[in-house]
A = this chain, B = another copy of it.
Amino acid sequence: MLDSLFRPRGVAVMGASNNPLSIGHIVVKNLKTYGFKGEIYPINPKQPEILGLKAYKSILDVPGPVDICCIAVKSVLVPQMVEDCGRKGVKFVIIHTAGFREMGGEGAKLEDALLEAARKYGVRVYGPNCQGIMNSDPDISVYANFTFTPLNQGKASIIGQSGGVAELINLNLRNMGSGFRIYASHGNASDVNTNEILEYLGNDPETHTIMMHIESMKDTPGFIERCRKIAREKSILAIRTGRTTAAATAVSSHTGSLIQQDSLTDAVFERAGVMRFQIAEEMIAAGYALSIQPVPSGPNVGIIANAGGPGIIAIDECVLNGLTLARFSDETKKKLRDGLIPEAYVENPVDVAATATPEHFALTLDLLNKDPNVDSILITMVTPPFVDCEGLARSITEASRKMTKPILVCVQTNENWAGTVAIIRDAGIPVYNYPETASRALAAMVRYGEIRKRLAEPPAQAAGDKARAGEILSKSKAGFISQAAAFAVLAAYDIPAARTVPVSGAPASLPEVTFPAVLKVDSEKIVHKSDEGGVALNLGDKEALQKAFADMSGRFPEADFVVQEQCPAGTEVIIGIKREEGIGPVMMFGLGGVYVEMLKDVSFRLPPLSEADAARMVREIRSLPLLEGGRGLEPSDIAAIEQLLIQVSRMAMDLPEISEMDLNPVIVYPKGKGVKVVDARIKKQ
């Protein structure tokens, strides 16, 4: 439990001094300046007083309980300081000092030493090489951090692996007129880690939204599990840095962390219900709105503008980001027509015109609030010098009080209209500078609404004889199992596949074989069967099959073989599972051939899939139109692909012994005609 970390009674600061440029000094100053409600204990062997507070020679001299000791002394001294903290009964040390594992070598040894000292006394370690924590709860008001942004209250909490990025979030929330609830930048995370902090924030009732900066992930399954639980109630937003190889290289030298493939990040976040953003500004804009406004019940936005151009920008951005322009009811349009000036445009977006009065705004907001076709309201307004702009602002805040729909406002203005902006902000309505930013923030809110629904979807059901599949796999050696075994595993999950019969002797008596047939070599040593002449196609009858067998068994004297029905041609797709280190199984889907190999047009998901997940996974690839058909192309049996994905998802969950599986190709037939797996590779771990 991190309660003593985020709600401490007493905070000691080792390295506190009267040098205003020392980190210890700044931490004491921050604690004091922002009104920490507990006791502050500067520790300094030489100074009797720091910033007007009594200083103690040692932590052991401190009279009261110390929940946190901030440590900002030379790195070599840190293990001893932690030991002292242990003897005092300190619950958490926040180690600001750098020069530990991120430096490698001696630094890593030093980190091990301080961790050992901590373990000995049951002290929890936060950091090292970290900024610290803050909690803006007025009952606590703790700023145990050496950074410089004033403490402003808000409903969004921040977790930053990098202090600089956490600060970027905090600063810009503040620039937008907001603040944070809890702030945690934990550097090397040698003990207290992201997942534990996440869990704490999940349980903090005043945290409405969590914004994260992630460089690397240590316990991905734990991350996913916690996020899925939290994200049903509060939105989790994240940026991940180190996306490019160049950046990943710098990250590894910067924090010494493991580099993960960026393509997997999307799949992990998707499964976790975390909203990923490519740039910090968009995340902050969205998190700000999500922390103070209700989630839209649907994608239909009503836009109100008092200048045409910015309203047009808002439409473009809303539509391009997945929103729908609400179609107003006839009643709404009629009443707008009656109540606004003749030059006003009463379709969506409503252009109330630059001369619009507070009453015009009030009327429009009221009508859009009542119109059931509208799920959210976006206002883009300028502040014309010939209008009572504070009156406009008050119309907005009054309307919002009666509203259950979210409302976001872009105000194009300057400092002379600060009062107008303040009126809107103080009512808990987010205000943005750019119509694009406001539109994207709203789109993100709708996306969160969809995530919440998605997280409630149950895993899709699929038949599967886990015991039988397990038995087949248990009989195989590690590595690629035989074709015969692979098809038997598929059969245990009722997966539609080309009928495949193992043959070891001459295939004279194979009543199950239908012609035309295919003969394939089945050997772990022959990976590229076709290339090595291990596939004979179009065998029209028993005689042709026997001839092919005679030929092939001569060339592959040690191998086994399978005979397979030859399936008619169709659209080829690939479905795969790969068990990723530290993550678990990841499923892949794509069109076969050049689409997957050359154009890398694939989608990923972490199982188990819901039915809707399977549908989304198919629809995510760029080449979807080739499955959907049209223009002379017959529509493919997408439902059958979805069903197959669900069966494969079940396999991935049931059979951890499968480290890799490739169904390649799966032939997809026209709508209603199903799919057939023609080739399957399963690797047992």
Q: Which A residues form the contact surface with B (CB < 8 A)?
A: 20-23, 25-26, 98-99, 103, 146-150, 160-168, 171-172, 174-175, 213, 215, 241-244, 246-247, 250-251, 253-255, 279-281, 305, 307-313, 315-317, 319-320, 325, 343, 345, 347, 349, 351, 380, 382-387, 412-414, 416-417, 433-437, 594, 597-599, 622-623, 625-626, 630-631, 633
Contact = CB atoms under 8 A, between A and B. Distances in A.
Given A166-B309, A168-B412, 11 more contacts: A21-B387, A146-B386, A162-B310, A164-B307, A165-B310, A172-B433, A241-B312, A250-B312, A251-B312, A254-B312, A254-B351
8 contacts: A164-B412, A167-B412, A241-B313, A247-B316, A250-B311, A594-B626, A599-B622, A599-B625
A434 B599 contact: no
Contact of A325 (B246, B309, B434): B246
A160 B311 contact: no
A319 B246 contact: yes
A168 B241 CA distance: 30
A382 B164 contact: yes
Contact of A23 (B98, B279, B386, B622): B386
Contacts of A597: 631
A438 to B, nearest CB: 12
Given A320-B244, A347-B250, A313 B433 contact: no
A436 B279 contact: yes
A545 to B, nearest CB: 28
Contacts of A384: 146, 148
Contacts of A255: 308
Contact of A243 (B147, B320, B347, B437): B320
Contacts of A313: 165, 241, 280
A308 B164 contact: yes
Nearest to A410: B168
Contact of A386 (B22, B150, B215, B626): B22
Which 9 pairs show the lowest CB-CB distances between chains A and B?
A: A162-B309, A164-B307, A165-B309, A164-B309, A247-B315, A598-B625, A21-B386, A244-B319, A279-B436
A309 B163 contact: yes
A625 to B, nearest CB: 4
Contact of A162 (B243, B312, B633): B312
A301 to B, nearest CB: 11
Given A146-B385, A243-B320, A599-B623, A631 B253 contact: yes
A179 to B, nearest CB: 12
A23 B163 CA distance: 49
A288 B98 CA distance: 37
Contact of A253 (B20, B254, B345): B345
A630 B168 contact: no
A575 to B, nearest CB: 20
The listed residue with most B CB atoms (<10 A of its CB), out of A20, A244, A247, A305, is: A247
B241 A309 contact: yes
B148 A416 contact: yes
Contacts of A633: 594, 598
B312 A215 contact: yes
A20 B313 CA distance: 30
Contacts of A433: 171-172, 175, 281
Contact of A310 (B164, B386, B417): B164
